[in-house]
Structure 1
Amino acid sequence: MSKPFIALCPEITRTNALHLMDWLEDECVIRYLSDSRHVSRFIEQVIGRVQLPILTHLFNQSGRFFMAYDRHDVPVGFVRLVKTGTDCEIVLAIGNRDNWGRKLGASAIREGMKLAFFDMRAEKLIAKIHPDNTRSVNAFLRCGFLLQGETPTLQSFSMTSARYFRLLRDNAVGHPTGIHVTESDKARLRNLVAMEQGPTVFELEHEIERAIVVDARQVARSVITMNSRALLHLNNEKVEVSLVYPKDADDSAGKLSVFSDIGTAILGYQEGDAIDWRISDQTHRIRIEKVLYQPEAAGDFHL
C-alpha cells in the first residue's frame, strides 16, 4: 500500500475555485469550518466577476492559500496559513469524502508545518478545532501538536518551532523514509542555504534538518551524498545524474544542483528508495536504481 502523499501548491486556478465551491457545498465537509459560508460566497463572486485563469492573488489577500494534490495530481483539499506576528494559524480540509480515512489530512498538516516553520519562519503554529471534529483532532495529535487550551466549542492545539525541529530531527513527524547526510555535507549545505532565496530553498533546508547525520567514513556506499553520480528512474525514463553544488551545475552534462527540484529530492536517499516529488506542477516518481560513484566510498574526501 502506498504511503499517503500530499503536495501543497500556491497557484489557484479557476478550475481549483470550482472544486472548492463543490467541496464547500458538502455539509459534511463544512460542518466544522467556521468561515465556510463566507468563503463559498467569496469564491462565487470571484468566479462571476473575474475572468482570469489564475486567481492566486485573490486567495492570498488575508493569508496564504494552497491547493492540496495527491500523488496522481488530483486536487483533494486545501490548506490556509495565516501569520499574525510570530504565530501562524493553520486551517485545512480534505474536500472529497472518498479520501477520508487515507491519512491525507495528516500529510497536509506536515506539509503545512514545513511551510510555516521553514518558509514563513513562524515561532508557533496553531490549530483551532471543534472538539467533535475527532478526525482533525486525531490528525493533529498524530503530527505532534499539543493541546494548548479549550472551551466547550473549541480546542486550541499548538506546535512550537523548537518542538517541531526536535521531532523532525528525531524522525517523529511521520516521514516515510529517512535520509542520510555526512557531517561535512550538512555544514556546507547549511552555509549555502543561509545565503540563498527561492521556492526550493526551504525544501532543501527541511531535508537537511530531518536527515540522519553520519561520519563521512561510515556512510553507506549506496547513499547519494554530494558529488555522487547515480542512475535514476524518473517516472519511466532512466537518467544518469550527478548531485553537485550550485557552482558546478551543468544540466546539459547531467550535473544537477542540489538546489534544483530533482537535486533536493534525491539528497540522502539510497539504492532502492522511491520518492514522490512535485516538480513543475506535476508529481514525479523517482527511484534510485544505483549509485555509480560516491566520493566517500572512493576515498575522495576532499570533494
Structure 2
Amino acid sequence: MTRPFISLCPEITRADALNLMDWLEDECVTRYLSDSRHVSRFIEQVVGRVQLPILTHLFNQGGRFFMAYDRHDVPVGFVRLVKTGTNCEMVLVIGKRDNWGRKLGASTIREGMKLAFFDMRAEKLIAKIHADNARSLKAFEHCGFLLESQTPALQSFAMSSERYLRLLRENPADHATDIHITEIDKARLRSLLAFEQASEVFKLEHEIERAIVVDSHQVAQDVVTMNSRALVQLDDEEMEVALVYPEEADDRAGKLSVCSDIGTAILGYKEGDAFDWRMTNRTRHVRIGKVLYQPEAAGDFHL
C-alpha cells in the first residue's frame, strides 16, 4: 500500500478555521484533547471578531500551527508545535473520523518531525497522549518514539534529534522513495546549507540526510545528481531542467537551484520515479522522465 501523502501548511485561512470548528464539534475527535474546549472557544472568537482572510498570526501565538493537507490539497487535520527551550511538544489531530485508519496520523507525525528537527532545531520532540488513545499511541510508536514516562491517564513519548537522524539514515525508505546522492554532492550541499537560513532550506536538509550516499564512480546513470539535466513532468507539464547550485540558477534557461521547490524535489530521484511534492501553494505530482545528462556518467567529476 502506498504511504499516504501529507503536507503541513503554515498559512491558516478563514476557511481553515471553519473546518477546525466543524472537527472540534465531534466528541470523538476531541475526546482525548486536553484543551479542546479552549481551542474551540478561541476559534469561535477569531471567526466571529476578525474578518481577515488569513489568520496565521493569530494561530501562531504560543507556538506554530499547521494545517495538514492530503495529496489533493484537502485539509485532513492540524499540527501544533510548541517549543520550550530545546524541547518541542507536538499535538496533532486528524479531523474527520472517515479518515481514521488510513495511516494519515503516522504520515503527519513524520512531517511534524521534519519541521521540529530541521526547521525549529529542537533537541527533543515530545508527545503527551491519553492512555486510552490507542490510535495515537500506535502511530507514535510506529514512527520510532519511545515511552519516557507515564501515569494512569497519560503517556509521554519522546524522540531525540540524535535518534531521529539515526533512524532517518538507517531506514531512508521508511519516509519515502529511496533517493541517492554522491559523497561529493553531499559534502558540497552541506557546505551550502551552512550559509542558508534553516527555515528556507529545511526540506533540502531533510532530503540530504535521508539520502543513500554512493561513490561518484558508482552512482547509477539514471539518477538526478547535481548539474544533471533531466526531463521532468510536473502534473501535465513536461519541462527540461538542469539542477544547479544557487549561484548558477537561471529560471529562464531552465537552470533550477537545488534550494528551489522543484530543485529540492528532484534531487536523487531516478528515471521513472513518480511522487507528490508540496510546492509553494499547492501539491504537484512529479515524475522523472529521462536524465539527459549526468556529470558522473559523462566522466565530468569536476562539476
**Structure 1 CA distance for aligned equivalents of residues 246 and 198 of structure 2:** 14
**Structure 1 CA distance for aligned equivalents of residues 113 and 61 of structure 2:** 20
**Structure 1 CA distance for aligned equivalents of residues 143 and 225 of structure 2:** 29
**Structure 1 CA distance for aligned equivalents of residues 150 and 196 of structure 2:** 41
Question: Cα offset for 1:226?
Answer: 0.1
Residue 280 of structure 1 aligns to a residue whose secondary structure is coil
Deviations 1:37-79 (A, max 9, x none): 1000000011111110000000000100000000000000000
Contact 1:244 1:255 (8 Å CA) reproduced: yes
**Structure 2 CA distance for aligned equivalents of residues 235 and 3 of structure 1:** 19
Residue 155 (structure 1) aligned with residue 155 (structure 2): yes
Question: Cα offset for 1:175?
Answer: 1.3
Question: Cα offset for 1:199?
Answer: 3.9
Deviations 1:237-281 (A, max 9, x none): 111100000111000010000000000000000011112111121
What pairs with 1:125-164 in structure 2 (closer than 5 Å)? 125-164=125-164
Give the corresponding residue for 1:30: 30
Residue 195 of structure 1 aligns to a residue whose secondary structure is coil
The code of the aligned residue for 1:183 comes to E
TM-score by length of 2: 0.98
Give the corresponding residue for 1:174: 174
Question: Cα offset for 1:8?
Answer: 0.2
**Structure 1 CA distance for aligned equivalents of residues 190 and 86 of structure 2:** 23
**Structure 2 CA distance for aligned equivalents of residues 198 and 149 of structure 1:** 31
Residue 90 of structure 2 aligns to a residue whose secondary structure is strand
Deviations 1:134-193 (A, max 9, x none): 100000001000000100000000000000000001126831311110000000000001
Residue 227 (structure 1) aligned with residue 230 (structure 2): no
TM-score by length of 1: 0.98
Q: Percent identity of the aligned residues?
A: 77
Give the corresponding residue for 1:274: 274
RMSD: 1.0
**Structure 2 CA distance for aligned equivalents of residues 225 and 159 of structure 1:** 31
Unpaired segments ≥5 residues, structure 2: none
Aligned in 2, Cα 1:218/1:172: closer, same or farther, shift over 3 Å? closer
Give the corresponding residue for 1:209: 209
Give the corresponding residue for 2:3: 3
Between 1:273-282 and 1:84-93, the stretch displaced more is 273-282
Contact 1:144 1:173 (8 Å CA) reproduced: no
Give the corresponding residue for 2:64: 64
Contact 2:172 2:210 (8 Å CA) reproduced: no
Deviations 1:70-128 (A, max 9, x none): 00000000000000000000000000111111111001100000000000100000000
Displaced runs of 4 or more, over 6 A:
none
Give the corresponding residue for 2:19: 19
